[in-house]
Amino acid sequence: MEVPLESGVKRRAAGMFGLPLDHPAIEGPLKGHHHEAYAVPLPGGGRAKYREPREGLLWFDRRCFALEEELLLDLQGRVTRIPEVLDYGVLLQRFVEGTTLGGGVPSETLSPKHRTQLGELFGELASLGIGDVAAPRICDDADRPVDGDSHGFLTRLINFTEQRVYQEHGVAYHGLLAALGVREGALDGLKKSAETLTERTFTLLHGDLHGLNLIVDEQGDLWAVDWELAMIGDPLYDLATHLHLMRYSREEAERVSGLWRRAVESRRPECVKGWEVDLDVLRDYKRAQSVYTDVIRAALALGRRHPELDPDQLQKVAGRVQQALAAARRPLGLQAVPTLHEVVAAYATWFTSHSETVAPSAS
């Protein structure tokens, strides 16, 4: 996401420690949809992550915890390799130095070490049940299904996508979605599938375990960062989200699924009941959710160059949208998947009558 060179957030990040705006150790803006963030050097060594929420966000995921830093404080000593929380009048996270595990392309096979450490993370999360996390939560009681109600958990996620993303955020995009084959009621089939889910004891979920949120440090250890979308719910959701976002080969997905089962079963055997059948249902939800997210984000990305659409950028984002539609054909009940040419045409047509729509950011 483009940020002006004289960003106010960057000025405040530098000013917090009395640094010049062009200090070479200030890095950013860091990749991320939810915040504008910078890595800033600390007086005692190392760096902290200074961030502020982006304005005008369209949220594509529910939020559960009031403040990520408070959750991380609660998890210190119980979840390995998560950012340390520092108090400088405001709570900051120590910046985890390293490289990301992946950035949106099909992931290679994990190393044995990283596979082991990912399994450790799954196990540690499974050990934290519904009463084990004290960090303040902002979700309403109505959004908190009874412990073990996997059907209620997924239904609430589907309803958020339908009511908040499609009906509330996405009103201006209904025509575009319809041109791509996604019409009102497209999630009804998923709601029926959710009724078949097995009950599983709820645990803490990271909620967004993709490659950019998994950092490999200088020692080659794997760290989990960006806990903004953490929640309490069906532990199988983290596996479904991870597999969906990492785009593993079938063989690697099977290996990662096996390590999840072993790690979770060793901590809470009841959390793996029915997992092999239910995993497909949860992955179908992630495929469907991605369509709404990708269609709207693509429009917003293209709109930053409005009124003249960049043909190369249009082809690029249309390709991602077309792939998302193909993956979600069955869960969304699409009669057909539009061709790349048809996706490009749908966006071009939509933009001719929506010049004022593509103003806010999306997350």
Average pLDDT on 115-119 reads: 97
Residue 75 lies in a domain: no
- What is the total count of domains within the chain? 1
Amino acid at 263: A
DSSP category for residue 320: H
Residue 344 lies in a domain: yes
Average pLDDT on 183-194 reads: 97
Which candidate, 348, 350, 326, places its Cα nearest to that of 339? 326
Average pLDDT on 156-163 reads: 96
In the predicted model, is pLDDT for residue 354 greater than 60?
yes
Q: What is the pLDDT, as a whole number, of residue 304?
A: 66
Residue 98 lies in a domain: no
Residue 328 lies in a domain: yes
Pair of tokens at residue 104: 């949106």
Q: What is the pLDDT, as a whole number, of residue 355?
A: 60
pLDDT digits (tens, 9 = 90+) for 273-282: 999 999 999 9
Q: What is the pLDDT, as a whole number, of residue 358?
A: 55
Whole-angstrom distance, CA of residue 133 vs CA of residue 138: 13
Q: Is the dihedral of CA 77, 81, 86, 90 positive or negative?
A: negative
Strand-pairing partners, residue 216, are 99, 222
Query: CA-based diameter of the chain, in Å?
Result: 60
Q: Is the dihedral of CA 78, 205, 73, 132 positive or negative?
A: negative
In the predicted model, is pLDDT for residue 361 greater than 60?
no
Average pLDDT, the chain: 91
Grade residue 2 by pLDDT with cuts at 50, 70 and 90. Answer: very low
pLDDT digits (tens, 9 = 90+) for 315-349: 999 999 999 999 999 999 999 999 999 999 999 99
Grade residue 141 by pLDDT with cuts at 50, 70 and 90. Answer: confident
Could you give the C-alpha distances from 222 to 47, 115, 116, 146, in angstroms and in order?
18, 9, 10, 33
In the predicted model, is pLDDT for residue 305 greater than 60?
no
Residue 306 lies in a domain: yes
pLDDT digits (tens, 9 = 90+) for 19-31: 999 999 999 999 8
Q: What is the pLDDT, as a whole number, of residue 71?
A: 98
Strand-pairing partners, residue 53, are 35
In the predicted model, is pLDDT for residue 130 greater than 90?
yes
Average pLDDT on 132-157 reads: 93
In the predicted model, is pLDDT for residue 55 greater than 80?
no
| Torsions phi, psi for 350 (to 5 deg) | -60, -40
Residue 3 lies in a domain: no
Extract the runs of DSSP E, i.e. beta strands, from 79-221: 85-87, 91-94, 99-100, 203-205, 214-216
Residue 162 lies in a domain: yes
Helix crossing, 275-303 with 236-246: angle to 10°?
50
The owner of tokens 């400088």 is 88
Residue 16 lies in a domain: no
Q: What is the pLDDT, as a whole number, of residue 6?
A: 62
CA angle 230, 235, 241 (to 5 degrees): 65
In the predicted model, is pLDDT for residue 51 greater than 50?
yes
Exposure b/e, 10-36, CB count within 10 A at least 16 = b: beebbebeeeeeeeeebbbbbebbbbb
In the predicted model, is pLDDT for residue 306 greater than 70?
no
3-state class of 92 per DSSP? strand
- 308 is in which domain, residue-wise? 150-198+275-352
195 by Cβ neighbours in 10 Å (0-12 / 13-18 / 19+) ranks as: exposed
pLDDT digits (tens, 9 = 90+) for 56-115: 677 789 899 999 999 999 999 999 999 999 999 999 999 999 999 875 445 568 999 999
| Torsions phi, psi for 40 (to 5 deg) | -125, 135
